[in-house]
């Protein structure tokens, strides 16, 4: 069972894969023939019996197709959250709270220092920079699955309706999101466009392209990066990032702790990030907690 399409969760070459139809489509787009031999789609909310264990998938609000696995057996219920966030995302359905006996949570931003600002504020920073520098391009570093499409959708939500320019590495997944019904407005390849034409435009590229030769085709780019890690100044600096945008697809500290309280699981397993602090929080609340190595 694969919770979502990110490469640290969805690996190629499995014999059998069970996931939402969207996650299977993302895996096929990324891995082609190697996506998996036997691919079984399971829609959100549809129950499946596997050797007496009842399984259903519910939205995790992380990226398109992302799911939590709800497992029930003998009157008890375990929820495996995968990666998740709690704030609204125009590109995927919201996280569903499922009360349970055991909750397995991620902890990417599991430290009280991580409190993500409202997405709208970060998008407004980008639009303000665009206005301040009409002769420069805004080059925004985004991960290809989820972040790219979310930043685009947030720009559209903010009323930005000009074409957005894409690095070639982002095109396939943006196309797939659209085929799966996510509105992204007009997107154009950045390749082959005159330098002068990109003045005052927004260009999206994978983080690896921000400072390499590729970016020289752009007119004096303002280098931005959209990531939850932009909260850490050293990380932004390391990327040579002038305009850090804190936009995350992972729950921040407040979202993580609120989720533990809402699912109300007496037992919490913490994995995937800063396990210790969240583990400590859970124990303080009298949950039985343990960090999964
Ligand atoms: Zn993920
Ligand atoms: Zn992950």
Please write the tens of the pLDDT for every residue from 216-258.
999 999 999 999 999 998 888 888 899 999 999 999 999 999 9
Per-residue pLDDT for 133 more than 90? yes
Q: How many Å apart are CA 60 and CA 97, to the nearest integer?
A: 9
Going from the Cα of 117 to the center of ligand 1, the distance in angstroms, rounded, reads 20
The ligand with the least distance to the CA atom of 92 is: 1
Helices (H), 180-274: 233-238, 253-263
Q: How many residues are given for the chain?
A: 293
Q: Let me know: does 72 contact 99? Beta carbons within 8 Å.
A: no
The ligand with the least distance to the CA atom of 108 is: 2
Q: Using pLDDT thresholds of 50, 70 and 90, give the confidence band for residue 293.
A: low
The boundaries of every CATH 3.40.50.12650 domain in the chain are 119-245
* pTM, rounded to two decimals: 0.96
Neighbours of ion ligand 1 (CB under 5 A): 6, 83
The ligand with the least distance to the CA atom of 146 is: 1
Residue with tokens 């396939």: 172
The ligand with the least distance to the CA atom of 6 is: 1
Q: How many Å apart are CA 243 and CA 263, to the nearest integer?
A: 36
Going from the Cα of 200 to the center of ligand 2, the distance in angstroms, rounded, reads 34
Return phi, psi of residue 9, to 5°: -120, -45
Question: What kind of architecture, by CATH, is found in domain 16-113+250-291?
Answer: 4-Layer Sandwich (3.60)
Going from the Cα of 110 to the center of ligand 2, the distance in angstroms, rounded, reads 13
The two tokens of residue 80 are: 């495996």
- CATH topology for 119-245? Rossmann fold (3.40.50)
The boundaries of every CATH 3.60.15.10 domain in the chain are 16-113+250-291
- Tens of pLDDT, residues 155-196: 999 999 999 999 999 999 999 999 999 999 999 999 999 999
Return phi, psi of residue 36, to 5°: 150, 150
Going from the Cα of 6 to the center of ligand 2, the distance in angstroms, rounded, reads 7
Going from the Cα of 83 to the center of ligand 2, the distance in angstroms, rounded, reads 5
Q: How many Å apart are CA 17 and CA 23, to the nearest integer?
A: 10
The ligand with the least distance to the CA atom of 273 is: 2
Those residues whose C-beta lies under 8 Å from the C-beta of residue 4, and which sit 6 or more positions away, are 10, 19, 23, 26, 60, 62, 63, 65, 66, 67, 82, 83
């Amino acid at each position: 069972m694969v919770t979502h399409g990110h490469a640290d969760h969805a690996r190629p070459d499995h014999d059998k894969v069970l996931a939402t139809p969207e996650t299977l489509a993302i895996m096929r787009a990324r891995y082609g023939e190697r996506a998996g031999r036997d691919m079984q789609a399971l829609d959100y909310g549809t129950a499946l019996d596997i050797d007496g264990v009842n399984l259903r998938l519910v939205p995790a609000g992380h990226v398109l197709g992302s799911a939590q696995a709800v497992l029930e057996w003998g009157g008890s219920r375990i929820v495996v959250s995968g990666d998740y966030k709690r704030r609204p995302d125009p590109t995927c359905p919201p996280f569903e709270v499922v009360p349970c006996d055991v909750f397995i949570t991620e902890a990417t931003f599991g430290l009280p220092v991580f409190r993500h600002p409202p997405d709208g504020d970060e998008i407004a920073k980008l639009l303000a920079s665009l206005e301040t520098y009409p002769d420069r391009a805004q080059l925004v570093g985004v991960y290809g699955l989820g972040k790219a499409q979310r930043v685009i959708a947030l720009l559209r939500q903010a009323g930005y309706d000009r074409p957005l320019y894409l690095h070639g590495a982002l095109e396939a997944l943006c196309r797939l999101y659209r085929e799966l019904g996510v509105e992204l407005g007009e997107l154009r390849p950045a390749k082959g466009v005159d330098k002068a034409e990109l003045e005052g435009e927004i260009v999206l590229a994978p983080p690896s392209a921000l400072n390499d030769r590729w970016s020289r085709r752009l007119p004096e780019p303002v280098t931005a990066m959209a990531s939850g890690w932009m909260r850490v100044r050293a990380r932004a600096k390391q990327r040579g990032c002038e305009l850090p945008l804190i936009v995350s697809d992972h729950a921040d500290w407040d979202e993580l702790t609120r989720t533990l309280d809402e699912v109300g699981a007496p037992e919490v397993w913490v994995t995937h990030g800063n396990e210790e602090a969240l583990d400590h929080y859970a124990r303080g609340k009298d949950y039985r907690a343990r960090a999964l190595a």
